[in-house]
Every structure is written in C-alpha cells, then in structure tokens.
C-alpha cells in the first residue's frame, strides 16, 4: 500500500516529456538519436499508425523488427503490432523506392505475464506484408552520417571506392499512396480489442505499452537488442525507450527517446525498483533521417523516474524460478546440467566406513567418496562428495536428461517453469524447461540456483550469431517465434557431441590470423548519357581477422571494416565502405558483402559493392564485382 502515494510523483516526472515536447508536431517520421529506431506516425485509412522500425546495429544496418500500435477512429484501445523482416525481403533504407517484406502479428493488452503473452498472446495478421522503405523515412530520405565508419586503406574493396569517390542514391519522396499502405491491415484484423495496457513481443525484444497519463496517451516501447558475448553468442540488453505522446487536443504526437542512466538501479525483475532515464524529444523530421538524428533532438528530462510496473502487464515478467538453497546449481544451459546436493547417500568404501563408525564420519566431509542422489525420476544418480563452502554435498557433474525430462521426471512443458525433487527430504530444484539435445525435440528442466538467473546463451536471430565449440543452435521455446515462418528466430546453444548439428550444420573453423594477398575489383559507375566511370584493378591487401566463437571482425590499421560469421569453412562478411567527399554530389550510402571459404591457410572471398550518388551532373550508380585472395 506504500506504493500508492509514490505514483503521482512518478507520473509527474513522466509528464516532463509531454509538456516539453512540441505541442503541434507534424505527423511524419524521424530517426532516434542513436540511429537505431526509425519512428513513424501516419494516418492510414482513418487509422493512426504509430510504429518503429528497429535496428540491432547501425553500421552495417541490421533490421531487428517493426513494432508499435494501430489506433482506431472510434477511440477504442489500440492494438499492438510486431512485424519481422522476411528472409526474402530486399528493402533498403538507402533506396526509398525499395520494398520491405514482413511477417506481421497482432496482440491485445496482456492480462497475465509478459512471458506468457509473448508465447501465446499473438496472432498472425499476414505472413507477407509489403511496406515501401519510404514509409519509414522523412521527406528527404535517409541521409548520411557525418562521420562514416572507418576502414583501413587495404580493406575489402577500399581501392575501388577510393577511385569511385563517394557514391550516393537519389532520394525519393517518402510518402507512398495511402491506399497502398491501407490495405496492409484491414480493420477486421483488429476486432476484439479489450483494454489498454502492455505486452511483450513474441521475439522478446520489445515491451510495448499504451497507457493514459494526465489525459495524454503514451505509446512507447522499451527496446532490447542482441549484444555479443566473448564466445560469439548473444545476450539481450536494454537499448532505449522510444515512442510517442498523444495530446488531448488531437494535435499530432511528439516523438520521445530515452536511455537508462548509468546510475539507474531499475530492473524488470524487481517491481520495487526504479528506472532513471535521460530523455530527448522532437517533432517530425522535415529533412533527412540521419540529419534529424544528429541535430533535431533536444533534452527534455535528464532524470525521469519510471517504475518497471509501467512497462509490464499485470502479472509482471514473471519472477525467475528459484531452487531451494540446499541445491547448488553449477550447470549452464549450454552444457549438461550439474548440481550439488547436501541430501545424498554414500556408496562404496565410504558407505562401509560410515556403517562401521558413524561417529567418526558424522563430523567430517568425506571429500572424494562416492555418493548418489535422487534426482527427478531417477532414484540414484552417481556423483562424488565435495566441500562447497560450508556445504558438504554430492556433486553430480552430469544429470541424465531422462531424469529431469519435462512432463516426466520434472513438472512443466517446453518454455515454461518447471521443478523436480532432489534427495529424499523434500528439497526442490526449480527452473525452466528448455531443449537438452539438438534434434531431440524434448525439453529438460534446467535448474536455477537460489538468487541466480538462468544463464542462457542466445544464437541465431537477425544477428546470425553461431554457437561456439561443439554446440548447436536450436529454437528457443520461451518465445513465440517458431522456425519455418520465413523469419530469423533467436535460439539457444546446446551441447552436441561430435559437433554435427541437425540439418548438417557444421561448427566453425578458426579463421583468426593476419592475412596478406591481393584484392581485385571490376565494374562500372554509370550516370547520365555520356558519363561512365570504368573501375578495374588489382591491389595489395593486408588485414587481420579476429574471431570470437563463430563471429569475426576484419580489421586493417586498427580499424574494423567488416564483420561476419563462419559456418564450417565458409565465411560471410558485411562491411560499410568508407565514404569519401565528391564535389557536387550528395551522399546517401554504399554497401558491400563478401562470401568465400578458408582451406587451410588460403582464404578466397568474392563479393559485390553497390553505391549511388545524386550529383550536379545527374544521378550516378555503381555495381562492382570484387574478390580477395589471401593467405595467413
């Protein structure tokens, strides 16, 4: 009950955002200051679409998803929407006329827990939703960052770009025919809206919120993105809070962007904690997206308090399951589970000694002796006695999955909370049901130690992260994103003896090292009639590859110019070519991709460099074939 007096104080802090934002911001689009969210407000067929195209990285641009709300003309509560980029999409924000293809789902406000609604609360709207890139952009398109990503002088294709100078694409008008967009989400797809509130997207990256504060409607999202671990796997971290504030007078909404302060102690797992945010606001962008991201946002609150409950549905996350303190959990989900239990039975010589002299053994811990523990559906799992701090216990280095299979030796089903008995005195291990063997199709109960979180190594997804060592990436049953739906779903890493994953996927070779060789480029930059720039040549190329797990960075002169992944012996890389000034031209961007194989110490890569420009003498576009042959 002590929470109630605090609520007006918190809401007053949030109101700083609304009052500081322009009162008559134009309906349109803009790009967040971190350049990770293209934020859109548009009226389509009488409905207001408030959505964000979210990126997981800026250079190179990697799309994560599109999220937001659809507001009804009758004033009924809005519906949540999540769209994932299909594998066959060829949309490009540097080309406003290109088209993204999405798989989209919708959801009402969640009545239970965020994790439950992420798995079960979403319904398919359409498996193939085309949206032109112009829908996400302000009037003058994307633009270019003032400081481009660095690239060493001998990077992939650098010599070609130096000769071609800076290359740009023409910017098309951003607003497509409303009828073209209006057909994407018919009104009957959103029937049955029940209440305002919050939910978690089924890919687990966005906590979507719609709530009224002080007579204003807040449509916001707490955004997470995959962050790389040292071993090449992923973890999700909070990136920002973005969205809109809708005014009671019906004027267009204002855009907001907040980041968590370094001294914030807020966490979604603790409803009694408080997030401390630094927030900026802006109106719709009337120039280029990157230009507005760099200069149009203004501070509106350096210390805004926000309770985690504001971002969550009524049931919270829920809280992480915790085992009884008598169970010490030392296993991780990337390996067979391991535990230490103080409720055990001695075996072998130690058991005979205990029977012969109970008093002599009672006060000591027979470290190294054989022992057994009842675990789940198994009456006696063999282990060895260890001293763990003040605890004398039986360490089970590998609990057979058959003992703790969910629905058999343990309660629960895949993706849900679970539990199983340990020993004979009522001690219980609790955790989550996750797959335990690639290709098996079943789940085991991976216990969580008291006061701990479950350490899950994520893989796959839009970042394409692979698992290190003899591990395979399999679908994560905790989210609502399943395989076979035409999008990249995040998975979890599982131990697999032999390193052969289902579907023939091989684990990666080690491509680390210093390389030297040659790079060859051949192609043409074409422009108005009479303007043609042939590009052909071979140059020396020296670079280094630093690999972590199955992910790598290619560097030259201390600067990263490409990133990629290794699958078996095959390497794929994406880079952002350095942008060079060309008098009389306006730059938008360029792209390059490479793929090839490593045979022993010999690396061969082939790729494509594309770029275009709008110049005083007309439009210029380039398509170049490139290759690298090097050895380490």
Cis omega (within 30 of 0) on the bond before 60? yes
Q: Does pLDDT of 46 surpass 80?
A: no
Report whether 580 contacts 129 (CB < 8 A): no
What's the mean pLDDT in 164-184? 24
564 and 604 housed in the same domain: yes
Is 473 a domain residue?
no
Domain span at 30? 4-139+174-311
**How far from each other are the two terminal CA atoms of the chain, in whole angstroms?**
67
What's the mean pLDDT in 305-332? 87
Other Cβ atoms within 10 Å of 408 Cβ, number: 15
In which residue are the tokens 């406003």 written?
96
Query: Where is pLDDT greater, at 366 or 499?
Result: 366
518 and 586 housed in the same domain: yes
Is 321 a domain residue?
no
Closest CA to 400 of 423, 383, 418: 383
Reported as half-sphere exposure (CB side, CA atoms, 13 A), residue 91 has a value of: 25
Is 536 a domain residue?
yes
Which residues pair with residue 624 across a beta bridge? 523, 609
Strand bridging mode 298-306 / 275-282: antiparallel
Report whether 100 contacts 615 (CB < 8 A): no
Query: Where is pLDDT greater, at 487 or 476?
Result: 476
What is the pTM for the complete model shown? 0.62
What's the mean pLDDT in 334-350? 82
Banded pLDDT at 336 (limits 50, 70, 90): low
pLDDT score, position 125: 80
Query: Where is pLDDT greater, at 467 or 322?
Result: 322
Question: Percentage of residues in the chain with pLDDT exceeding 90?
Answer: 26
In which residue are the tokens 């809206």 written?
193
Is 477 a domain residue?
no
Is 73 a domain residue?
yes
pLDDT score, position 275: 93
Reported as half-sphere exposure (CB side, CA atoms, 13 A), residue 589 has a value of: 23
202 and 275 housed in the same domain: yes
Among 419, 452, 485, give the residue marking a domain's end. Answer: 452
What's the mean pLDDT in 488-508? 61
pLDDT score, position 37: 95
296 and 209 housed in the same domain: yes
522 and 562 housed in the same domain: yes
The encoded tokens of residue 594 equal: 């490479």
What CA–CA distance (Å, rounded) separates 168 from 615?
Answer: 8
275 and 337 housed in the same domain: no
Is 154 a domain residue?
no
Is 182 a domain residue?
yes
92 and 206 housed in the same domain: yes
What CA–CA distance (Å, rounded) separates 138 from 146?
Answer: 18
266 and 382 housed in the same domain: no
Report whether 242 contacts 217 (CB < 8 A): no
332 and 303 housed in the same domain: no
| 144 torsion bin: left (phi>0), alpha (psi -120 to 50), beta (else) | beta
Gyration radius of the chain's alpha carbons: 28
| 289 torsion bin: left (phi>0), alpha (psi -120 to 50), beta (else) | alpha
184 and 294 housed in the same domain: yes
Choose the weakest-confidence range: 81-90, 342-351, 427-436, 484-493: 484-493
What CA–CA distance (Å, rounded) separates 560 from 541?
Answer: 15
Q: Does pLDDT of 303 surpass 70?
A: yes
Among 452, 480, 500, give the residue marking a domain's end. Answer: 452
Q: Does pLDDT of 565 surpass 90?
A: no
65 and 179 housed in the same domain: yes
Q: Residue 89 gets which letter from DSSP?
A: -
297 and 333 housed in the same domain: no
Which residues pair with residue 406 across a beta bridge? 410
The encoded tokens of residue 169 equal: 């694409």
Banded pLDDT at 53 (limits 50, 70, 90): very high
Among 311, 345, 374, give the residue marking a domain's end. Answer: 311
| 542 torsion bin: left (phi>0), alpha (psi -120 to 50), beta (else) | beta
Is 316 a domain residue?
no
Number of H-type helices and E-type strands within the chain: 7, 34
The encoded tokens of residue 546 equal: 């630093």
pLDDT digits (tens, 9 = 90+) for 105-115: 889 999 999 98
Tell me how many domains the chain contains: 3
pLDDT digits (tens, 9 = 90+) for 186-227: 222 222 233 478 999 988 899 999 887 667 777 899 999 888
């Amino acid at each position: 009950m002590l929470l109630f007096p605090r609520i007006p104080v918190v809401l007053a802090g949030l109101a700083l955002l609304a009052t500081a934002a322009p009162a008559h911001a134009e309906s349109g689009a803009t790009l967040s200051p971190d350049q990770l969210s293209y934020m859109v407000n548009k009226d389509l067929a009488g409905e207001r679409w408030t959505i964000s195209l979210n990126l997981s990285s800026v250079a190179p641009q990697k799309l994560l998803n599109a999220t937001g709300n659809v507001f009804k003309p009758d004033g009924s509560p809005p519906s949540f929407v999540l769209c994932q980029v299909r594998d066959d999409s060829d949309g490009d924000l540097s080309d406003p006329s290109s088209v993204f293809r999405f798989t989209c789902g919708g959801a009402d406000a969640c009545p239970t827990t965020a994790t439950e609604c992420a798995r079960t609360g979403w319904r398919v709207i359409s498996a193939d939703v085309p949206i032109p890139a112009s829908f996400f952009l302000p009037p003058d398109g994307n633009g270019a960052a003032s400081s481009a990503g660095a690239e060493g002088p001998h990077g992939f294709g650098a010599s070609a770009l130096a000769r071609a100078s800076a290359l740009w694409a023409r910017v098309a008008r951003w607003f497509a025919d409303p009828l073209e967009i209006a057909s994407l989400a018919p009104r009957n797809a959103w029937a049955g809206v029940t209440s305002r509130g919050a939910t978690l997207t089924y890919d687990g990256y966005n906590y979507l919120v719609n709530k009224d504060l002080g007579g204003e409607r807040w449509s916001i999202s707490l955004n997470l993105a995959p962050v790389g671990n040292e071993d090449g796997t992923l973890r999700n971290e909070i990136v920002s809070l973005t969205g809109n504030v809708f005014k009671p007078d019906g004027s267009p909404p204002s855009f907001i962007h907040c980041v968590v302060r370094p001294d914030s102690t807020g966490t979604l797992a603790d409803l009694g904690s408080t997030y401390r945010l630094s927030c900026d606001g802006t109106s719709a962008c009337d120039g280029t997206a990157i230009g507005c991201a760099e200069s149009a946002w203004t501070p509106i609150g350096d210390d805004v308090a926000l309770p985690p409950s504001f971002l969550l549905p009524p049931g919270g996350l829920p809280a992480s399951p915790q085992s009884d303190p008598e169970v010490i959990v030392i296993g991780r989900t990337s390996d067979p589970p391991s535990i230490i239990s103080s409720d055990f039975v001695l075996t072998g010589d130690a058991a005979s000694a205990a029977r012969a002299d109970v008093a002599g053994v009672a006060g000591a811990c027979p470290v190294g002796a054989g022992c057994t523990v009842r675990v789940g559906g198994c009456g006696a799992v063999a282990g060895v006695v260890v001293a763990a701090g003040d605890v004398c216990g039986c360490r089970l280095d590998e609990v057979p999955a058959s003992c703790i299979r969910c629905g058999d030796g343990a309660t629960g089903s895949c993706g849900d909370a679970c539990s199983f008995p340990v020993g004979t005195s009522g001690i219980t291990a609790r955790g989550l049901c996750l797959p335990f063997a690639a290709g098996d199709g079943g789940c085991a109960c991976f216990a969580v130690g008291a006061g701990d979180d479950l350490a899950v190594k994520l893989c796959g997804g839009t970042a394409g992260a692979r698992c290190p060592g003899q591990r395979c990436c399999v679908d994560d049953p905790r989210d609502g994103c399943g395989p076979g739906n035409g999008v990249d779903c995040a998975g979890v890493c599982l131990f697999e003896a032999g390193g052969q994953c289902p579907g023939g996927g091989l684990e990666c070779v080690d491509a680390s090292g210093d390389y030297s060789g040659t790079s060859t480029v051949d192609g043409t930059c074409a422009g108005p009639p009479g303007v043609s720039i042939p590009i052909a040549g071979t140059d020396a190329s020296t670079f280094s590859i630093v690999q972590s797990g199955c992910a790598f960075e290619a560097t030259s002169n201390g600067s990263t110019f490409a990133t990629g992944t290794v699958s078996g012996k095959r390497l794929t890389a994406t880079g952002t070519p350095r942008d060079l000034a060309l008098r009389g031209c306006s730059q938008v961007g360029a792209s390059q991709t490479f793929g090839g194989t490593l045979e022993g110490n010999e690396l061969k890569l082939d790729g494509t460099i594309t770029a275009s420009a709008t110049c005083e003498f007309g439009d210029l576009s380039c398509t170049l074939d490139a290759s690298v042959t090097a050895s380490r």
